[in-house]
Structure 1
Amino acid sequence: MTFNPLEQRGIPLDRQIRNWSELNIEPIDPDRADPYTRCRIITMNGIETEAIFFSHNFARVCPQLEAKQQLAEIRYVEAQQQRVVNWLLPGQSSVLETVLGYEQVATDLTSWVARMEPDPYLRQAYEFGVLEDFDHLYRYANLYEMLEHRKAEKIVDNLTEVMPGRPTFMQHRDPVDNVRDPYDRNRVDPISRLHALTIMSAEQQTMNFYMNVGPMYMEPIARQLYQEIGLIEEAHVTHYESLFDPGETWWERLVLHEYNECYLYHSFMETESDRKVKAVWELHLNMELEHLRLACDMMRKHDGREPESILPRSLPSPVTFEPNKEFLRNLLATQVDLTTLGTGYVRDAHERFQRMQERVHDAQKAPSEVVIDRHREMFGREYRLQTDGEHPVESLREARVKS
């Protein structure tokens, strides 16, 4: 049976505010939870955080007092939702364990979106970005073993491989080359809007997390690695946010945010394995249905258009966390040497890219390379988690040498 959020009624807004005991929910068990439950939590934290940021930014430019008051009411509830979602993460998990979860989200969520994206240009944007987050997972996994003497399979549970992607030090590009062409709001498939908002929100939350937790470490190599990868995450937010058509109105974007929250809560409710967490997804979905209804009313009143003109007729297939090993290995074998030039992609290191590399590195080794060197010094090897076979890029290099 198809589910159309526009035809559903949720919990009335005046019944959505929760008291302290309702907000104080039990977190997941870090030793027993499904790694993809953690990924769903991290994803929805990013989605709710983006919704709050968007609403604040909208309120700062919105001239209608009544609309600003409505935004404030909805925003307070979404702030409560964000706390509930983020507080599902257990306090006994270290920051680095949470970071590994963040990079597992970036790897498997972006891979899934890339596989499902109907637009070739947008698909390429996700394929390009995911190889960089894949490498971040590898760098943090080595740091994790160095600092906490534990292996990343404790977190990713063999669902996601840990091995080099596009080297992090090669990800520092001139900022102008991080800007992509936007989709056309009048022609884009509605699912592409949802994909772009989902990935941008997740990357933005990762950027925010790293820029805040990085300086809390005492170990210089940890501080440096967070600093470097945090800068790449900023570039990723630029990369993904530039995909949005700047002609979209604030009302249009408000409806899109609320619809996307319905889509993701419904998706995760359908796929969640943890009964208690599933109950949170179901409750929040019923809240978001009302937020969507109110946003649609505001769009009709202030924008003079029907929300159905920009939205799918029913929810698309559920967003699914699942292994993407074969997909990623294929990307590694075919796209690891790409960089950007203007709004496109090239294989050759052009002058602007080389100039940025020289300015950023200044003949020094990047922290992302130093962490691997230090790991080899400590353990006589680097940390990897490969489920089978050779690294696809290394296999390709060996084949080239033999030929």
Structure 2
Amino acid sequence: MTFDPLRERGIPLDGQLRNWRELNVTPIDPDHADPYTRCRVIAMNGIEVEAIQFSHRLARHCPDLEVRQQLARVRYIEAQQQKVVGWLLPGVSSVLEMTIAYEQVAVDLTAWVARMEPDAYLKQAYQFGVLEDFDHLYRYANLYEMIERRKAEKIVDGLTEVMPGRPAHLHHRDPMDNVREPYNRENTAPVSKLHALTIMSAEQQTMNFYMNVGPMYMEPIARQLYQEIGLIEEEHVTHYESLVDPGESWWERLLNHEYNECYLYHSFMETESDPKVRAIWELHLNMELEHLRLAAELFKKHDGRDPEQVCAPELPAPVTFEPNKAYLRELLATQIDYTTLGTGYVRAAHERFERMREAIMGGEKAPSERVIEDNRERSGHEYRLQTEGEHPVGSLADHR
């Protein structure tokens, strides 16, 4: 059965305000919850944070008092939604446990989007990025074993493998080589716009998380690893945000944000295994339908077009968290030795790549390399979680 959020009606805005009791949700069970429920919570938190931040940016550029007041009303509800979603996470998880969960989100969400993306250039962008998130999961899993004496399989539950991807010390590129060509808003499939906005928001959340939690550690190797991967996450946000057509008007961007929230809440409602969490996804979907209606009215008034000219006539296939082991192994076998040059991809290191690595490494090994060596020394091995075999390593991965 098709679902067109532009034709559905949700809860009127005046009926969306919740009191403290309603906001005080029960967090998911850290020991028994489906790991993908936690992934959906983390992903949706990032989507809500992006919606709030975008609304603030729009308000700062909007001279119309009445519009700014409407944005403020919707934004406060978005902030309440974010508090409910974010507070579903249990407070017992350590920073490193949350970090590993964030990277599981990055791996399986980006891999799913790459599999579903119809545009070849955009697909390549997701395939390129996911091999780096895959490696980040491996580095943090080794830090987790070394510092907390626990194994990442407790968190990822075997749904996501933990092994080397494109080595992190090879992720440090000249900033200009992190900028991609944007999609064309005139002829790009609506689902491609949703994919770009979703992965940009998720990576932005991860970047912000690492910026804030990295200095909370005392262990030098932990502080340094968060610094290194935090810088790479900045590269990833640049990589993904540059996919969005900068020619989209503020009103078109607002419409896309609200449509994407409807898409993701509907997706997670359809795929959620926890009934209590599913009820939250359903409630928030019914709120977002009204936010979308209001955004559509602003789009028609200020952009002069009908929302149907921009948005899909029905929601695409639900965004699904599921294992992507075979797909990732295929990418590891065929694309691990990629780097970027300008807005494209090459298999060989080039002058700007070499110059950047030399400048940032300073003649020393990267923290992402040292954390593996340190864990081997302390634990007698490096941590991996694999279901079968090893993956091949290409020429760039062997580059020193």
TM-score of the pair, normalised by structure 1: 0.97
Once the two structures are TM-superposed, the CA of residue 191 in structure 1 deviates from its matched residue by 0.3
Once the two structures are TM-superposed, the CA of residue 55 in structure 1 deviates from its matched residue by 0.3
Q: Does 1:185 align with 2:206?
A: no
Once the two structures are TM-superposed, the CA of residue 66 in structure 1 deviates from its matched residue by 1.0
Q: How does 1:1-400 map to 2 (within 5 A)?
A: 1-389=1-389, 391-393=390-392
2:391 aligned partner, one-letter code: P
Once the two structures are TM-superposed, the CA of residue 240 in structure 1 deviates from its matched residue by 0.3
1:343 aligned partner, one-letter code: T
2:333 aligned partner, one-letter code: A
Q: Distance in 2 between matches of 1:92 and 1:255?
A: 37
Q: Distance in 2 between matches of 1:126 and 1:86?
A: 25
Output one character per residue of 1:188-217: Cα deviation in whole Å (capped at 9) or x when no partner: 000000000000000000000000011011
Q: Distance in 1 between matches of 2:61 and 2:138?
A: 42
Q: Which residue of 1 aligns with 2:398?
A: none
Gaps of 5+ in 1: 398-403
1:282 aligned partner, one-letter code: E
**Aligned length, in residue pairs:** 395
Q: Report the secondary structure of 1:392's partner residue.
A: coil
Once the two structures are TM-superposed, the CA of residue 388 in structure 1 deviates from its matched residue by 1.3
Q: Distance in 2 between matches of 1:171 and 1:265?
A: 33
Once the two structures are TM-superposed, the CA of residue 20 in structure 1 deviates from its matched residue by 0.7
Once the two structures are TM-superposed, the CA of residue 148 in structure 1 deviates from its matched residue by 0.8
Q: Distance in 1 between matches of 2:281 and 2:237?
A: 26
1:52 aligned partner, one-letter code: I
Output one character per residue of 1:127-157: Cα deviation in whole Å (capped at 9) or x when no partner: 0000000000000000011111110000000
Q: Report the secondary structure of 1:340's partner residue.
A: strand
Output one character per residue of 1:153-193: Cα deviation in whole Å (capped at 9) or x when no partner: 00000000000000000000000000000111101000000
Q: Report the secondary structure of 2:392's partner residue.
A: helix
Q: Distance in 1 between matches of 2:378 and 2:68?
A: 56
Q: Distance in 1 between matches of 2:306 and 2:63?
A: 21
Identity %: 75
Once the two structures are TM-superposed, the CA of residue 95 in structure 1 deviates from its matched residue by 1.0
Output one character per residue of 1:318-354: Cα deviation in whole Å (capped at 9) or x when no partner: 0000000000000000000000000000011000000
Q: Report the secondary structure of 1:393's partner residue.
A: coil
Q: Which residue of 2 aligns with 1:401?
A: none
TM-score of the pair, normalised by structure 2: 0.98
After superposition, the CA RMSD in angstroms is 0.8
Range with bigger deviation, 130-139 or 58-67: 58-67
Q: Distance in 1 between matches of 2:144 and 2:240?
A: 28
Q: Distance in 2 between matches of 1:223 and 1:339?
A: 26
Q: Distance in 1 between matches of 2:276 and 2:148?
A: 30
Q: Distance in 2 between matches of 1:150 and 1:200?
A: 31
Q: Distance in 2 between matches of 1:310 and 1:6?
A: 11
Output one character per residue of 1:8-41: Cα deviation in whole Å (capped at 9) or x when no partner: 1101101111111111110001100000000000
Gaps of 5+ in 2: 396-400
